[in-house]
Amino acid sequence: MKGLSDIMQTVSMMKWVVLVSVLTMASGYKHVVFMHGILAGPSEFDKFAQQIKIDHPGTNTTQINAFVDAYSLEPMWNQVEKIQIIFTQIMADNPDGIHLVCFSQGGLVCRGLMSLLQHNVDTFIGLSCPLAGQYGDTAYLKYLFPNYVKSNIYRYFYTDNGQKWSVANYWYDPHHQDEYHKFSTYLAILNNDTHNGQSQTFKENFSRLKKMVLVGGPDDGVITPWQSSHFGMYNGSEVVLPMQEQRWYKEDSFGLRTLYERKAITTFTYSGVQHIHWHSDMDVYKKSVEPFLT
């Protein structure tokens, strides 16, 4: 029969094994970075961030606290260039890689970061993001620009002054492509729709992604067309063409086809989810976020 000292030694060893196992498990989860949407702030992702710490103990998270509320209307490149300072430090502190979860306009901010930087993003999850642009009469458009509708706001958005608004930077009017190519200072550059001396660098950086998860749905009510969240967009007849039928996909202008052919892209479509609920819908989280954060 074992003595008391032997039993205590065994118990101590078991505790040590459990501790090591927990630490090993925790260290296996990559840092998760959240980027909020337009007219909002980091608290949008409170629910997901809290749940991740329960589901993946030991996971470090960062909710980007920059360009909140009205400041989110600043030009997109301004946002990217300043947020990259925060982002670069996070990457340096996590050399094994990070995950990026972005909502709405935040997805385009993240797209800019992943194009501009030699990033170490493992997985990018875009929750209802206008990744291929925006073209629609929505409550947001009416609130911000009450004197315009989608059919005529190009007259303002496609000007030097209009491009001082973030929304204008990714406005994609399928009926006025000449003006889009001439004035778009953000989306057209990311898509390589206009001459850009950094296009090859942007492509190489974007292609560094290991996985991309695209989430959207027909009842969103804001992202228009909603398929933009899957890199789909209207043609000149306002018929939505899927990602694979877009010029910049066919020509692999910024690396999207590279990711697709590598089988690195997963898409999810949810019915019944309104725009303001993507970042707090736990069904979306359980199916389209948590499984990809390993």
From the candidates 275, 279, 281, 288, give the one annotated as an active-site residue: 275
Other CB atoms within a 10 A radius of the CB of residue 245 amount to: 12
Where are any strands of DSSP class E within the chain? 31-35, 61-63, 98-103, 121-127, 211-216, 233-234, 240-241, 265-269
Respond yes or no: is residue 36 known to be catalytic: no
Respond yes or no: is residue 220 known to be catalytic: yes
Q: Which residues of 228-238 are buried (b: 16+ CB within 10 A; e: fewer)?
A: bbbbbbbeeee
From the candidates 122, 173, 193, 220, give the one annotated as an active-site residue: 220
Tokens coding 165: 């608004």
Respond yes or no: is residue 104 known to be catalytic: yes
From the candidates 72, 104, 184, 229, give the one annotated as an active-site residue: 104
Residues 6+ apart with CB under 8 A from 10: 2
| Positions marked catalytic | 104, 220, 275
